[in-house]
């Protein structure tokens, strides 16, 4: 009797996750996890961080303004969001082409990892990304791709990239 109840409970949890009624216990919302990690990374020059188990639900948006406002200290011109060439379910993501917004248009939840790295803009695009071989390892353009340079190239700048979940 107890075994049947446990099995029934497990089936309900799986069903509710599929129907998106309850959150996936291992997943984290994209903007929240990006903002908290940018906040902790923004003063760690050239320290690349990979965050696992970030879950995009249908309609979720990764937004540079939300990340910057929740990160305490960076303006929206100091945060760029990029979509890796090897992001899972790549065609379901839509990047605005300016490093400002990535929208997930998939029909089911998608787990990804986020690559987060901060440095002065010039150092980031001329040295840091290539040092980590981000193009080869993660599918993130080492020149900064769609990211726009801030008015002060020596100011702190953070890139948040959606990368493969593996």
Alpha-carbon distance 78 to 85, whole Å? 22
Q: Are 91 and 44 in contact (CB under 8 A)?
A: no
Burial pattern 3-14, b for ≥16 Cβ within 10 A else e, equals eeeeeeeeeeee
DSSP 28: B
Mean pLDDT of the chain: 85
* pLDDT the model gives residue 24: 52
Percent with pLDDT over 70 in the chain: 90
Joined tokens for residue 166 = 């593996």
Q: Is 142 or 162 the better-scoring residue by pLDDT?
A: 162
With residue 115 as reference, give the H or E element that holds it: strand 110-120
pLDDT of residue 14: 73
- For 6-33, what is each residue's pLDDT tens digit? 777 778 777 666 555 445 555 568 989 9
Instruction: Read off the tokens for 133.
Output: 């071989």
Query: How many residues does this entry show for the chain?
Result: 166
Supply the pLDDT for residue 26. Answer: 52
Please state the rounded mean pLDDT for residues 38-64. 90
pLDDT for the residue numbered 61: 94
What's residue 10's pLDDT? 72
Reported as a pLDDT band with limits 50, 70 and 90, residue 42 is confident
Q: Across the strands, what pairs with 160? A: 81, 116
Is the pLDDT higher at 107 or at 73? Answer: 107
Q: For residue 151, is pLDDT > 50?
A: yes
Is 124 within 8 Å of 80 (Cβ atoms)? Answer: no
| pLDDT value for 21 | 47
Q: Strand, helix or coil at 93?
A: strand
């Amino acid at each position: 009797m107890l075994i049947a109840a446990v099995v029934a409970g497990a089936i309900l949890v799986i069903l509710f996750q599929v129907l998106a009624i309850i959150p996936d216990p291992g997943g984290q919302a994209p903007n929240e996890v990006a903002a908290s990690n940018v906040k902790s990374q923004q003063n760690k020059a050239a320290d690349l961080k990979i965050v696992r188990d970030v879950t995009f639900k249908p309609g979720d948006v990764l937004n540079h303004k939300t990340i910057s406002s929740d990160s305490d200290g960076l303006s929206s011109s100091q945060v760029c969001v990029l979509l890796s060439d090897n992001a899972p379910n790549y065609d379901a993501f839509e990047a605005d082409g300016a490093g400002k917004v990535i929208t997930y248009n998939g029909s089911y939840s998608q787990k990804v990892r986020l690559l987060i790295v901060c440095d002065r803009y010039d150092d980031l695009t001329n040295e840091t990304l290539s040092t980590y071989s981000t193009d080869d390892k993660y599918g993130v353009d080492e020149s900064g791709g769609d990211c726009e340079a801030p008015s002060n190239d020596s100011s702190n700048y953070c890139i948040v990239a959606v990368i493969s979940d593996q």
